[in-house]
Amino acid sequence: MKSAASRGFALGIDIGGTFTKLVALSEDHLVLAEGRLPTEAAKGPASLVERAAEACRDLCAASGLEASSARAVGVGVAGLVDATRGILVACPNLPGWENTAVASAFSAAFGCPAVVENDANAFALGEAVLGAGRGCDPVALVTLGTGVGGGVVAGGRILHGRHGYAGEFGHMALTLDQGPRCACGARGCVEAYLRSSHVVALALELAASSTEPPTPALARALAAGEATARTVGEAARAGDPVGLAVFRQLGQYLGIAIANVISAFNPQVVIAGGGVALAGEVLLTVARSTALARVMEPLAADVAILPAALADRGGVLGAGLLALAHES
C-alpha cells in the first residue's frame, strides 16, 4: 500500500466571511488533512493568502505531506468569480476584495497551479461527487447563509455560463417590484427573503401578529434585539409557534426558488445546504411540498429534494476536487 505522502493530492481552500477552511485531498478523495484559520477579511486578500499558505504547510507537515508537492490548489470564495481568468470580480460579503486576482496570488504563494471558483459552485461539486448528489446527474444546489447561493453540476462539471456567474439562485426574483431590498440592489430576490436579517425581521412581525405568543426565550431575544437566524431556528426546533411560523413561510419562499431551479435545469436532485439545517425538518418539508406542487408533473416525478450531506465541509471538499480535476 502506498503511504499518504507518496500518493498524489491536492489542496482545497474555502474562504468564508469568518473562517477559511483547508483540506488536503488524495486523488482517491480521501481527506488526508483538514483545518481552518480566521479569515480576518479586513486585513485584505494578501494577508489571507500568506496565512493560508503557512497553515497548509503546517497542516500537511503534521500529516507527513509536503505542501509544495500538492498537484494544485482549489479556492472557493463567496462572490462573482470569473473562473476563466481566476479573478474575484464582486463580493458584497468581503468588502475591498473586488477584482482580486485570486488564482495567481494562491499559485505564487503555494508554488503550484491554482483554480478559483464561486464558493457555492464548489459546494455543488462537493455534494455532487461526495455528498447527497452522488450518482445523480444533473445536481443543483441552493445554499442558505449570509446570502443565498447556488450551483449546477452537469456531466460532472460545474455549469459556468459565460464567465462563471451561473447559478446565482439567490437573485432570482420572487416578486415584480416589491419585497425587501436585496444586497444586489434589486427588490424581492430570493436572498432578500431568506437572508439571516430577514429571518429576524419576519420573527418580529409574526410575533406581533401571532395569536400564539413566542416562548419566553425567543420573546426575550426579540425584545432585546439579540435574536439571530440561529436563535429563531433553535426556537423552531424546540417547537416555538412563532419560530415554526417563520420557517413555514421561509419554506414557501425556498420552495418557489427550488421550483424555478427544477423548471430551468430538470435536475435529478436539488440539494439544500447551509443554514437549511438550522430550523430542523420544517423548512425543507415545506420547501419540498411547495416546490413539487408548482412544477409540471413529469418534472416533479423525476426529482429528489434533499438536505446537503457534507454540512459546512461541502465547499472545501469541492475546492479540493476542483484542484484534483485541474491537472488531470
Spell out, one character per residue from 293 to 312, where the chain touches Zn ion: x when CB under 5 A holds, - when not: --------------------
Sheet with 73-77: list strands edge to edge: 31-38, 19-26, 9-15, 73-77, 114-118
In angstroms, the CA 170 to CA 264 distance is 14
- Using the contact rule CB under 5 A, the part of the chain among 7-15, 28-36, 103-111, 180-188 near Zn ion is 180-188
Task: Please give the distance of CA 96 from its chain centroid, rounded to a whole number.
Answer: 21
**Residue 163, Cβ density class (10 Å: 0-12 exposed, 13-18 middle, ≥19 buried):** middle
Q: Is residue 148 a contact residue for Zn ion (CB under 5 A)?
A: no
- Using the contact rule CB under 5 A, the part of the chain among 176-184, 233-241, 264-272, 282-290 near Zn ion is 176-184
DSSP codes, 82-103? ETTTTEEEE-TTSTT-TTB-HH
Task: Please give the distance of CA 44 from its chain centroid, rounded to a whole number.
Answer: 22
Q: How far is the CB of 277 from Zn ion (least distance, A)?
A: 23
In the complex with Zn ion, which residue's Cβ is closer, 154 or 184? Answer: 184
Please give the residues from 215 up to 234 whose contact with Zn ion meets the rule CB under 5 A: none
Per DSSP, 215 falls in state P
In angstroms, the CA 304 to CA 270 distance is 6
- Using the contact rule CB under 5 A, the part of the chain among 35-43, 125-133, 165-173, 313-321 near Zn ion is 165-173
In the complex with Zn ion, which residue's Cβ is closer, 32 or 141? Answer: 141
Q: Is residue 254 a contact residue for Zn ion (CB under 5 A)?
A: no
Please give the residues from 186 up to 205 whose contact with Zn ion meets the rule CB under 5 A: 186, 189
The CA-CA-CA angle for residues 185, 190, 193, to 5°, reads 85
Task: Determine the 3-state secondary structure of 150 from DSSP.
Answer: strand
In the complex with Zn ion, which residue's Cβ is closer, 7 or 187? Answer: 187
Q: Is residue 142 a contact residue for Zn ion (CB under 5 A)?
A: no
Query: Of 257, 210, 253, 256, which is closest to residue 235 (Cα–Cα)?
Result: 210
- Using the contact rule CB under 5 A, the part of the chain among 156-164, 169-177, 258-266, 280-288 near Zn ion is 169-177
Rule CB under 5 A: choose which of 60, 182, 295, 323 binds Zn ion: 182
Q: Is residue 115 a contact residue for Zn ion (CB under 5 A)?
A: no
Q: Is residue 172 a contact residue for Zn ion (CB under 5 A)?
A: no
The residue ranges that bind Zn ion (CB under 5 A) are: 171, 182, 184, 186, 189
